[in-house]
Structure 1
Amino acid sequence: MGAYRLLLAVLVAVSHMGKTFMGLNPGVIAVISFLIISGFVMTSLIERNYKAPEKVGLFYLDRALRLYPQFLFYFVVSCAVIYFLLPGTPQAAELTLRNIAASLAIVPLGFYMFGAAGSWILPPAWSLGLEMCFYLMIPFLIIYRARGVAFALSVVVFMAACLGFINTDLYGYRLLPGVLFMFLCGSYLYKAQPKDLAIAAGTAVVAALMFAAIMAGWIERRPFNAEVTAGIALGVPAVYLLTKLRFHRIDEFLGNISYGVFLNHYVVMYFLHAVWSVAYDGAVVATVLALSLLLSGVSYYCVERPALKLRHALRAGAKYGVGRPLDRETAA
């Protein structure tokens, strides 16, 4: 699944450079697959290591060790680039103590639309706030077997948003109540029983039908409802099939650098905007992606890997007791 995750990160980066595909935003479609992957991986992680109320705190620590190292690195780099190279811009205006403190907590980034944090220091990180909200809930949904109720309630919120009864962008894409069922589609794919697989597959089919109806004009097109439904329809089968593939080191490497690409492409764009202010034609897009990939490789080996050792030790202690070896991490 590593190559797929890197492809998704590239699509997010390309979308932020203003590129679309058949009138659709590829970054939004990619984010939905990220949510489905997260649901699958978090369920695997909890089932194997943290499936007990007393271990939920360790799960949260595991996730912090996953998200924070590269996030902090690129957040600091972005602040430096903005401060020194982009003075007087909207980005520079967000370099306040309040915004920086809120951003470092990550969760407020998912509520930037309500003024909880700034959105321009590291723009892709808003979805990390959404991920954090999911992390806070998923252990309890699994331990207390509440996924079904949560799934149904989330679908209701999403349908109301998709059809325009409530804000489509917020509740159909950016906030947990409307997208929780997308995470849970991935959760149901982990060791899927027939009922679980039927729920995920049925959701993908309904999403495909809704996408067709939106594109045909039978359902009014609203902010990102076409992309989100397309993302569900494509993401569920893609994740299901990719989880059946055997481990390969090249795929692992590509997955390892995907998080850095997701985080750092805006930093590269800010830098190039300051020193080489040109339109995002093919050459500039290729330059951004090349630099982003290079930086991601450096940050993975210099920043991420030391934290990875701590996560492995944490899981070994949670599952077996200190000193017992841990299985290879599959996709987180």
Structure 2
Amino acid sequence: MGYIRFLLALSVVLSHAGGLQIIGRMAGGEASVQCFFMLSGFYMALVLAGNDDKATFYRNRFSRIFSGFWVASAFALVMSALAHDNILIRIYRADLPLSAKALSLFSNAFLFGSDIALFVDAPLGGLQFSPSLSSMTHPVFWYSLIPPAWSLPVELCFYLLAPYALRSMPRMLALLCASIAIRLWTYSAFGTVEPWGYRFMPSELAFFLIGAISFRLVPSATALPKLVGKLAMFTAIGLVVAFEALPSPWMLYVGVLVATPLIFAHVSLDGSRADRILGDVSYMIYLCHMAVIAYLPAIVGRPPISLAVIIAIGIAFALHRVAHPLDKWMRTVSCTAIEDPRSRRLSKRHLLSDPGQDL
């Protein structure tokens, strides 16, 4: 699944950079993030199928998220300082109430609250709920060091639920129905305006759950010819690249959902080294690209979009080489629990990289 994850991360980059003449923004930001949620559900179901140790599961997931986040945050902080727009100084000088400054500092340091910042305004009277991003007068999210990081607390909420929900089909179906009902309620109350369109965790849970349910199809997918898996991969790639020409975004969602177990069964198990590397670095591309796009013009001048994208990908590879050993170290020191031997056998036989490396 490395190629798919890389293209989805690249789509997020293009959505923020402005797109390229030939391929546009590909899947764009919203659709790509929701596809990442589906892939995350699939891989978390896979991990939990071979490991009953909740402590190990939580340790691995949290270390993966935070190691990359902190490395990308350090890079973004340096870039903001070089661009003479130090985020810490900007928060200090901002005409915001103390509660808003505290939320900004805490979410930038510890991630939690990055999603909440999208739903609150901060006039001088204090934090207050806002029905849309466009109606905010003092947005807290303007002071986010890594704007795309809002999706990571959402992902962490999914991880907290996963050991209790993903092993039971009735629980998954019940939660899926509840998530769909909440999405219908928010649609009736707020429409599709941001941030309700795709940033509200209870609504986004449906994508994570249908991804987890698709994992149950792997045995059936394995029985099909290998050619089907390769066709599924090329179809998914085509849907991501040609997304802007599709009549409905749901064609991408359904295509990725159907293709995932087929690709896993027939392609990922025999995947190439390039596929693994691109999948590994996709998370860092997602995290660091905004610092390049936002601050590079103030440092060296505005490069062409294509060059900015290439620079962002190159920096992501370099930062991944820092985050990966940090992730391993955090897993070693954060918990003394020993992984279930079944989990180790599963990862050696079935995983080409840590399955928790999706967004």
Indicate the TM-score class for this superposition, using the shorter chain for normalisation.
0.7 to 0.9
Kindly provide the amino acid, as one letter, of the partner of residue 61 in structure 1.
R
**What is the 5 A alignment of 1:24-173?**
26-49=28-51, 51=52, 55-87=53-85, 93-94=90-91, 98-115=103-120, 118-119=141-142, 120-143=144-167, 146-162=171-187, 164-168=188-192, 169-173=194-198
Shift in Å, 1:125: 0.7
In 2, distance between residues paired with 1:14 and 1:302? 24
Over 3 Å counting, the alpha-carbon distance change for 1:144 and 1:263 in structure 2 is: same
Query: What TM-score does the superposition give when structure 1 sets the normalisation length?
Result: 0.76
In 2, distance between residues paired with 1:33 and 1:188? 14
Q: Where does residue 257 of structure 1 map in the other structure?
A: 281
CA deviation profile, 1:147-180 (whole Å, cap 9, x unmatched): 1100111112223445x44443444411121111
Q: Say whether the 8 Å CA contact 2:50–2:342 is kept in structure 1.
A: no
Over 3 Å counting, the alpha-carbon distance change for 1:307 and 1:171 in structure 2 is: same
Q: Say whether the 8 Å CA contact 1:33–1:235 is kept in structure 2.
A: yes
Q: Say whether the 8 Å CA contact 1:65–1:311 is kept in structure 2.
A: yes
Q: Say whether the 8 Å CA contact 2:149–2:287 is kept in structure 1.
A: yes
Moved more, 242-251 or 186-195: 186-195
CA deviation profile, 1:159-209 (whole Å, cap 9, x unmatched): 3445x44443444411121111111111011132899xxxxxxxxxxxxxx
Q: Where does residue 175 of structure 1 map in the other structure?
A: 200
Over 3 Å counting, the alpha-carbon distance change for 1:180 and 1:16 in structure 2 is: same
Indicate which of 166, 190, 202 corresponds to 2:215: 190
In 2, distance between residues paired with 1:12 and 1:40? 21
Over 3 Å counting, the alpha-carbon distance change for 1:323 and 1:4 in structure 2 is: closer
Query: What TM-score does the superposition give when structure 2 sets the normalisation length?
Result: 0.70
Q: Say whether the 8 Å CA contact 1:2–1:331 is kept in structure 2.
A: no
Q: Say whether the 8 Å CA contact 1:32–1:231 is kept in structure 2.
A: no
Structure 1 runs (4+) greater than 4 angstroms displaced: 20-25, 95-98, 309-316, 321-326
Moved more, 64-73 or 307-316: 307-316
Kindly provide the amino acid, as one letter, of the partner of residue 59 in structure 1.
F
Q: Say whether the 8 Å CA contact 2:111–2:152 is kept in structure 1.
A: yes
SS of 2:80's partner is helix
SS of 1:250's partner is helix
Q: Say whether the 8 Å CA contact 1:312–1:326 is kept in structure 2.
A: no
In 2, distance between residues paired with 1:242 and 1:231? 15
Shift in Å, 1:102: 2.3
Give identity over the alignment, percent: 22
Q: Say whether the 8 Å CA contact 1:103–1:118 is kept in structure 2.
A: no
Q: Say whether the 8 Å CA contact 2:35–2:256 is kept in structure 1.
A: yes
Indicate which of 237, 260, 269 corresponds to 2:258: 237
In 2, distance between residues paired with 1:24 and 1:324? 37
Shift in Å, 1:76: 1.8
SS of 1:39's partner is helix
Does 1:4 find its partner at 2:9? no
Shift in Å, 1:249: 1.4
Shift in Å, 1:38: 0.4
Number of corresponding residues: 295
SS of 2:50's partner is helix
SS of 1:317's partner is coil
Does 1:248 find its partner at 2:253? no
Shift in Å, 1:257: 1.2
In 2, distance between residues paired with 1:24 and 1:8? 8
CA deviation profile, 1:268-291 (whole Å, cap 9, x unmatched): 11331212444xxxx622112211
Instruction: Could you tell me which runs of 5 or more consecutive residues in structure 2 were left unpaired when the two chains were aligned.
Output: 93-100, 121-126, 128-139, 221-245
SS of 2:271's partner is coil
Over 3 Å counting, the alpha-carbon distance change for 1:166 and 1:293 in structure 2 is: same
Shift in Å, 1:58: 2.8
In 2, distance between residues paired with 1:25 and 1:324? 35
SS of 1:174's partner is coil
In 1, distance between residues paired with 2:41 and 2:336? 18
Shift in Å, 1:31: 1.0
In 1, distance between residues paired with 2:77 and 2:24? 35
